[in-house]
Structure formats: structure tokens, C-alpha cells
Homo-oligomer: A and B are copies of this chain.
Amino acid sequence: MTDTPRIAIDAMGGDAGVSVTTEGAARALKLDPRLKFLMVGDEAAIAAALAMHPALKAASDVLHAPEVIAGTDKPSQAIRRAKTTSMGLAIDAVKQGHADAALSAGNTGALMAMSKLALRTLPGIDRPALAALLPTLGDNDLVMLDLGANTECDANNLVEFAVMGAAYARIVMGLERPRVRLLNIGEEELKGTDEVKEAAALLRDAPYLPLSFDGNIEADRLGRGEADVIVSDGFTGNVALKSVEGTARFITDLLRRAFTSSFRSKAGFLLSRPAFHMLKTHLDPNNHNGAVFLGLNGIVVKSHGGADAGGVANAIGVAAKLARSSIARRIADDLARFHAHHPASAAAK
């Protein structure tokens, strides 16, 4: 926990590479002048990019990494290159205490595997989870996890995700008792898999946790503002998130097609451009960029591979907020309380 966090940036990650990551960092610094950076990657490329951002250059150190993890690299290949790649060295900087958080827009599976190996999980955590913020029609965003780190999960994993997601919601949204729900195919208690039913029973029985467990939620209510944290296994969460993203893009494409179908429609589009701008702002994934690996001894944020400079700046903001918090201690404390009530699940660790 620090007030002047230093963020290690995998400068080479993402579809657009070093120009977008430095531009994003420069924007983040303008919004939050106390930030420091460790730019990790090809020294010459970073130096050239920093030359265009004097303020960022003054706030940054550079760590040379000769290699880059490719999008096609398997996690098992990636972990063998932890000491030579920009992603590996950014994570290592967190491990060594040279940075307070790491950020990468590279290969998600590799980032997860390298982070888990280097930073290890928090006491009491079986598996880390990938959490992201999604827009809702309510007052707050929504924390969703796991979004793909764990294909299959048991009831205890889901409880851990609930605790981690609630800690994250308390920090990023300032809520005291976030409303937590389990993603399910019906609201009734008897619906769903055994794992989900058992997790619901465990959470109902844990009023001492700093969260309000509100039962199941169906996927058509995701964005209605009825929950602050939605928990699922990584397979289901990934499918739900991608269904949402795909549908948003599908409708945008239909709208574009509809609005270019006639002169009258085009004129209508021009007239209502501010309305479309509002819609676009609300749906733009860059405004919600920055997924977090929760449950590790250290902060690792995943920026979207296609994020623009504004998106990178948002993700850096998430990393800084977490670095200024004591999320690891909060999660560990909450889980210790849970395990004190469930000695069997604690002993299994």
C-alpha cells in the first residue's frame, strides 16, 4: 500500500505495442501526477516513444527485455521465458518489490500462468480469478469473475471468488457490503449445478462476511444494476462476457447497416449523433478496460489487447487504485474468517 505507486508496464504487449502503451501511460500520469512507471521492453523502442512524452520520461525508469510473449505462445512455453520477456520481467518487478503493480495487454493465459508462478496465491486461496468491471443501467459498475482463469471450479472456489470480488468492489466502488450473486440458469435455490448450489448454501451461511449474498441471478439480468458482484466458474463467466460483447457488436453493426440504408436514415443519424455518442461512450470497452487477477501476492492488471491509449490509461488507473489499497490483506482476512467457520475447507488447502 503506497500513495505514489510505481506501475511496471509491459510496454510491448497489445495489438498496437509501445506507442499506445506509452501514450496511455502519459495520459494516466496527467490525471494522477504522483504515479511512477517502470517501462519494460525493447530499450530503444521505449526510449524513442518516451522522447515524445517528457513528463512521462521523467516519471519512468526503463528495464530492457530482449523478448516478447506472442499471442500464440502457450502458457507452458511462456513461463520458461519469465526472465527474458517484457511480460515476465514486469511481473518479476512486482515480485522483487521494484513495482507495486504490473500491467500487460499481452496473452492472457501466459500472463495468468506467469503471475501465478512468480507471485503465488494468497494464503487461503486455491485459485486466482480474473475479474472485470462491466457497465450497468444502475448507479454502479458490476464486478464479474471468474472470466476464464479456471475452467472448472468447485463450491469452495466459488466462495473464494465471492470474497475476492467483494473486496474488489469495496475498493473500486467504495461499497461497504457489496451485493453478491451467483450466475445461474434460474433464481430458485434448486436450479443449477451441484457446485453452484453448494456455494450458495455456504454463502447463505456466512453472514459474518462483509458482503450481502443475494442468491442467484440469470444472465439476462447482468446489466440491470441488481448486483455489485457476479460470481461464476471461468468457463461460464467467459461465455457470458463474450456473449455480451458479441451482442453489443452485433447490434452496433445492425444499427450501422440500418442507418446507411437510406438518405432519410442517414440524416436521422447525423441529427441524433449526440445520442449515439452517449451510447458509444457507455458501451466502449476502453472505458471499462483493466481486468484484474485477484488472489495473488501482488497486483497484476490485464489490459485489453485492442485497447486504445484511453483504455490503457483506465487500466493503469485500476492498477493504481489497487496499489493504494490493501486488497491482499482484506481478501486474506475475509477468507481466514470463512475458513475459521469451515475448518474442513481450510484443512484441504
A: residues with CB less than 8 A from B are 74, 137, 148, 151-152, 183, 185, 190, 192-193, 218-224, 232, 234-236, 238-251, 253-255, 257-259, 261-262, 264-265, 267-276, 278-279, 282-283
Contact = CB atoms under 8 A, between A and B. Distances in A.
Contacts of A247: 222-223, 243-244, 247-248, 251
A251 B279 CA distance: 8
Given A193-B151, A251-B251, A254-B282, A243 B271 contact: no
User: Which of A235, A241, A245, A270 has most B Cβ within 10 Å?
Assistant: A235
Given A152-B193, A185-B234, A272 B269 contact: yes
Contact of A235 (B234, B236, B244, B276): B236
A192 B274 contact: no
Contact of A246 (B223, B272, B279): B223
B246 A275 contact: no
A271 B274 contact: no
Contacts of A270: 268
Contact of A276 (B74, B137, B258): B258
Q: What are the 5 tightest A-B residue pairs by CB atom distance, in nearest-first order?
A: A268-B272, A268-B271, A220-B246, A243-B243, A258-B275
6 contacts: A219-B242, A248-B251, A251-B279, A261-B275, A264-B272, A269-B275
Contacts of A235: 185, 192-193, 236
Nearest to A108: B186
Contact of A239 (B183, B265, B272): B183
Quick one: copies of this chain in the complex?
2
A257 B138 CA distance: 13
Contacts of A245: 220
B240 A185 contact: no
Contacts of A223: 246-247, 250
Contacts of A221: 246
A278 B253 CA distance: 12
Contact of A259 (B190, B264, B275, B283): B275
B261 A268 contact: no
Contacts of A253: 137
A267 B271 contact: yes
Nearest to A247: B247
A276 B148 CA distance: 35
A241 B220 CA distance: 8
A221 B192 CA distance: 25
Contacts of A267: 271-272
A268 B279 contact: no
